[in-house]
């Protein structure tokens, strides 16, 4: 007997079927509720509402579990490579050696971008935030590859669009950084692996030999894996809803980049470093900022703390915190902000306000400290988040299209004026 929930309303009683997932999560399927009762449900921020079913990522917020296609984030972060995790998320299985070699070859083949992209880049002021530059460059791919505009035409074409964006995203990200520094852009060097090629485009200068540092490349691989997907977060839900209108993959992902930019979401990693620097410059007065974070009348929030899903700990934050110690030590970087972050975390986790509201460090709390040690400036931190999340957005967009999901169009409850007659301007 399939499980159901009963809704009793206005003297009537209807049964709503329950859907149970492979991890025994239950959801009430309300797809028939309006036709059978005239009711809709209301859930601002979709805190209790499932938007879809998916086979890509599983999260358990209470137990701090994060798995991609069944593999734990702990195993993937310690044993896999970012390109392998891209393949796993998008195609559903860990690749064989030949499959991975071919996938990486395809991506390498598409790292170069049309020279006209330099004209678009030149149109930006040098202080343009790289997230804004990136989202427009990604949308502009539709101008150079108009065949990508019709995603339903063939899987082959979708696969070509996938390797094109995986190949060109690092180039765009590095070039948007060079735009800020005023240094000449560096072209892709396909003799290098995916992460080293990106690091060279980011940090090499024409007059210098660039030797990839394995410590930096390994740290980058791990950071990108830790950001790769996170089920139906704000930016992924944006990618899905734009894609549900049958918009193609590039504008859908560009929309995701813009959603991620917000300081409550991916923009938090830049906001964390700015917050820590502010506290550092304010005599390390941690107690003052903890007090501000708890003060309802103060808009200040402890950036990098709290999460919509994780209510005990964010497994990614644990891994990144350990990696921060390791990477800074290996690079011989002494960033006092790391000690300040640990002190802030300790005080917050012993404070009743944070304990009662289940606020813990999330993925953004320590990541900026590593990015800074690797040489990235704060305005590039969210670009790095978007780089990591790219395969997640791609896989979720592909899944939504393959499942032929309907156009996303939520309902509302209207609280405005009821019907009234027009009044001529001379009588107002």
Residues with catalytic function:
307, 364
Among 301, 311, 318, 342, binds ligand SDX (CB under 6 A): 301
Task: Work out which of 68, 168, 222, 265 binds ligand SDX, going by CB under 6 A.
Answer: 265
Q: Which of 196, 238, 362, 382 binds ligand SDX (CB under 6 A)?
A: 362
By the rule CB under 6 A, 88 interacts with ligand SDX: no
List phi, psi (to 5°) of 57. -130, 140
- Least distance (Å) between residue 387 CB and ligand SDX: 13
Nearer to ligand SDX, 253 or 293 (CB): 293
State how far the Cα of 227 lies from the Cα of 387, in Å rounded to an integer: 8
Which positions from 245 through 264 interact with ligand SDX, judged by CB under 6 A? 264
Q: Is 361 in the site for ligand SDX (CB under 6 A)?
A: no
Using the rule CB under 6 A, is 292 a contact of ligand SDX?
no
The answer to whether residue 317 forms part of the interface with ligand SDX (CB under 6 A) is no
Size of interface with ligand SDX, in residues (CB under 6 A)? 22
What's the closest the beta carbon of residue 365 comes to ligand SDX, in angstroms? Answer: 7
**H or E stretch including 255?**
helix 249-260
Looking at 141, 363, 370, 394, which residue binds ligand SDX (CB under 6 A)?
A: 363
Considering the complex, what minimum distance in angstroms separates the CB of residue 125 from ligand SDX? 28
Nearest to 86 by CA among 175, 202, 195, 172: 195
Mask 26-65, x = binds ligand SDX (CB under 6 A)? -------------------x--------------------
8 Å CB contact between 391 and 228: yes
Calpha distance 29→5 (Å, rounded) = 9
Helix segments in 12-154, DSSP class H: 33-37, 73-79, 82-91, 97-109, 116-122, 130-144
> Nearest-CA neighbor of 260 among 176, 385, 391?
385
Residue 393 found at the interface with ligand SDX (CB under 6 A): no
Residue 378: Cβ within 10 Å count: 16
* Helix-helix angle 155-181:249-260, to 10 degrees: 40
**111, 197 Cβ separation under 8 angstroms:** yes
Q: What does the alpha-carbon distance between residue 226 and residue 80 come to, in Å, rounded to a whole number?
A: 11
Angle at CA of residue 179, ends 177 and 180, nearest 5°: 70
Which of 105, 109, 357, 410 lies at the binding interface for ligand SDX (CB under 6 A)?
A: 357
B/e letters for 207-219, b = 16+ CB within 10 Å, e = fewer, are: eeebebbeebbbb
CB of 305 to ligand SDX, least distance (A): 4
Question: Cβ of residue 301: shortest distance to ligand SDX, in angstroms?
Answer: 4
Positions touching ligand SDX (CB under 6 A) are: 45, 230, 233, 264-266, 268, 293, 301-309, 357, 359, 362-364
């Amino acid at each position: 007997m399939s499980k159901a929930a009963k809704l009793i309303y206005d003297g009537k009683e209807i049964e709503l079927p329950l859907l149970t997932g492979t991890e025994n999560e239950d959801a009430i399927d309300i797809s028939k509720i309006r036709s059978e009762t005239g009711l809709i449900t209301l859930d601002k921020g979709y805190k209790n509402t499932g938007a879809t079913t998916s086979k890509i990522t599983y999260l358990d917020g209470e137990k701090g579990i994060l798995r991609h296609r069944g593999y734990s984030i702990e195993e993937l972060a310690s044993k896999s490579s970012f390109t392998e995790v891209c393949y796993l998320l998008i195609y559903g299985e860990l690749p064989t050696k030949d499959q991975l070699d071919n996938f990486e070859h395809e991506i390498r083949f598409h790292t170069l971008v049309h020279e006209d992209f330099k004209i678009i880049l030149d149109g930006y002021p040098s202080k343009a935030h790289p997230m804004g530059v990136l989202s427009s460059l990604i949308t502009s791919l539709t101008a150079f590859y108009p065949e990508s505009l019709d995603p339903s035409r063939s899987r082959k074409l979708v696969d070509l669009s996938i390797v094109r964006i995986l190949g060109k995203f690092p180039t765009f990200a590095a070039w948007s950084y060079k735009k800020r520094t005023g240094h000449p852009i560096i072209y892709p060097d396909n003799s290098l692996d995916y992460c080293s090629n990106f690091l060279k485009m980011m940090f090499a200068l024409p007059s210098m030999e660039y030797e990839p540092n394995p410590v930096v490349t390994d740290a980058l691989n791990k950071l990108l894996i830790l950001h790769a997907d996170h089920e139906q977060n704000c930016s992924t839900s944006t990618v899905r809803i734009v894609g549900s209108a049958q918009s193609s993959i590039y504008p859908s992902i560009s929309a995701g980049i813009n959603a991620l930019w917000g300081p409550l979401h991916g923009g938090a990693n830049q906001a964390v470093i700015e917050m820590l620097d502010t506290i550092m410059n304010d005599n390390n007065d941690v107690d003052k900022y903890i007090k501000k974070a708890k003060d309802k009348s103060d808009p200040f929030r402890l950036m990098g703390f709290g999460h919509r899903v994780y209510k005990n700990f964010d497994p990614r934050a644990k891994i990144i915190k350990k990696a921060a110690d390791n990477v800074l030590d290996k690079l011989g970087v002494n960033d006092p902000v790391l000690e300040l972050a640990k002190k802030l975390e300790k005080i917050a986790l012993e404070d009743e306000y944070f304990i009662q509201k289940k606020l813990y460090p999330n993925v953004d709390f320590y990541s900026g400290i590593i990015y800074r040690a690797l040489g990235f400036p704060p305005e590039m931190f969210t670009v790095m988040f978007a780089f990591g999340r790219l395969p997640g957005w791609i896989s979720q967009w592909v899944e939504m299209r393959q499942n032929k999901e309907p156009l996303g169009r939520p309902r509302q409850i209207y609280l405005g004026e009821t019907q009234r007659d027009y009044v001529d301007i001379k009588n107002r």
